[in-house]
Amino acid sequence: MELFRINVDSPVGLWGVEGTNEGITHIHLPHERGRSSLGVAPRHVKDAARQLEQFFAGRRRSFDVELAEMPATNFQHDVWRALQRIPYGQVRTYADVAASLKRPRAMRAVGNANHANPWPVIVPCHRVVAKSGLGGYGGGEDVKRFLLELEGVAV
């Protein structure tokens, strides 16, 4: 199945929404440049792009999109489901997420699963912070800070 991409503008750059008729396969961070596809976008890609635009405009707090099945470990899938339970405008530490999975010593593994998340923002890995500060983010510290401030989190 052919991948289709729509770029979505934000104050921190262009995000890419990529997917097929089956669902969203990837949300590309602003530094992951790519061109929008030509032609008619699959419904799932159009829906995700519209919802991402609404999020960046402050008019959306949660997402209702079809995510494609992605190859990953059971632990990664567990972490990604845990991320989706973190409410808008709230943060959790890596230790909090690990504890919620009944794996209290797996903070580093949670960080690795966060980094492997194919759907940033939609699966809100930006809401996971270090105990001592902001923590890492694949899109960079400025992008993570922007996302958290957009949600009203004091950073």
* 117 assigned to some structural domain: yes
Question: How far apart, in whole angstroms, are the C-alpha atoms of residue 14 and residue 44?
Answer: 19
* 120 assigned to some structural domain: yes
* 68 assigned to some structural domain: no
Question: How far apart, in whole angstroms, are the C-alpha atoms of residue 92 and residue 120?
Answer: 16
* 43 assigned to some structural domain: yes
How many structural domains does the chain have?
Answer: 2
Percentage of the chain with pLDDT > 90?
95
What is the arithmetic mean of pLDDT over 66-76?
Answer: 97
Global pTM value: 0.94
* 138 assigned to some structural domain: yes
pLDDT at residue 155 greater than cutoff 90: no
The two most distant CA atoms of the chain are separated, in Å, by 48
Give yes or no: residues 52 and 78 share one domain. Answer: no
125 part of the active site: yes
- The parent domain of residue 49 ranges over 4-56
Pull the structure tokens for residue 103: 């794996």
Average pLDDT taken over every residue of the chain: 96
Taking CA atoms, 9 is separated from 102, 137, 139, 140, in Å, by 38, 19, 15, 17
Q: Spell out the residues 6+ positions from residue 110 whose beta carbon is closer than 8 angstroms to its own.
A: 79, 94, 97, 98, 101, 128
Give yes or no: residues 11 and 46 share one domain. Answer: yes
Pull the structure tokens for residue 118: 């194919």
pLDDT digits (tens, 9 = 90+) for 82-140: 999 999 999 999 999 999 999 999 999 999 999 999 999 999 999 999 999 899 899 99
* 63 assigned to some structural domain: no
Residue 95 pLDDT: 97
Alpha helices by DSSP H, the chain: 43-56, 74-84, 94-100, 107-116, 141-150
Domain of residue 124, CATH code: 1.10.10.10
Which among 107, 99, 151 is positioned nearest to 129, based on CA atoms? 107
Give yes or no: residues 140 and 85 share one domain. Answer: yes
Residue from 8, 68, 125, 148 carrying the catalytic annotation = 125
Domain of residue 16, CATH code: 3.30.160
Residue 1 pLDDT: 73
